[in-house]
Amino acid sequence: MNVATILKHKGNDVVSVGPDATLQEAVRLLAGKRIGAALVLSEDKSLAGIVSERDIVRAIADRGPACLQMPVTSFMTRAVETCRPSDTIDQLMAQMTAGRFRHVPVVEDGRLAGIVSIGDVVKLRIAETELEVSAIREYIAAH
């Protein structure tokens, strides 16, 4: 099981905002799409950063609601860690744990190929465990 397995199920869509978006626009997007992070793409569509609900909570705590009118680029994380479709789920989990983030964009041959969240990882792990349990049950029943 690897990152490509997750993308096969969830697809390659990435939710993003442009560099001119305000934090308010990012908040509306996250709420509307029921997701926890959006990528910030430059005009040439290159990855400029990531903004997650945690950045928004921190921004409001530090600056108050007026920050919602400020550019998303003021609050995003610029040093975005990415993964590859060939990375294993164990590698992805280790990366999320070490970096303390729950979203990782997937890059293949320099191009954005999707985004995976901790929710996707947990979903896949549960499916894997259920498969193993039913295989063990079948084995026990047959012996």
41/135 with CB nearer ligand AMP: 41
Say if residues 77 and 48 touch (Cβ distance below 8 Å): no
Q: What is the Cα–Cα distance from 60 to 74, expressed in whole angstroms?
A: 12
Stretch that binds ligand AMP, among 84-92, 100-108, 120-128, 135-143 (CB under 6 A): 100-108
Contact between 115 and ligand AMP per CB under 6 A? no
Binding pattern for the stretch 8-47 against ligand AMP, x by CB under 6 A and - elsewhere:
----------------------------xx----------
Among 23, 39, 104, 113, binds ligand AMP (CB under 6 A): 104
Secondary structure (3-state) at 6: helix
Residue type, 53: E
Comparing every residue's Cβ against ligand AMP, the nearest one is: 52
Question: How many CB atoms lie under 10 A from the CB of residue 79?
Answer: 7
Question: Interface with ligand AMP includes 71 (CB under 6 A)?
Answer: no
User: Does the footprint of ligand AMP cover residue 101 (CB under 6 A)?
Assistant: yes
The C-alpha R_g of the chain, in whole angstroms, comes to: 18
HEC secondary structure over 24-36: HHHHHHHHHHCCC
d(Cα 87, Cα 31) in Å, to the nearest integer?
29
Stretch that binds ligand AMP, among 26-34, 51-59, 60-68, 84-92 (CB under 6 A): 51-59
Which residues would be at the binding site for ligand AMP (CB under 6 A)?
A: 36-37, 50-55, 77, 80-81, 99, 101-104
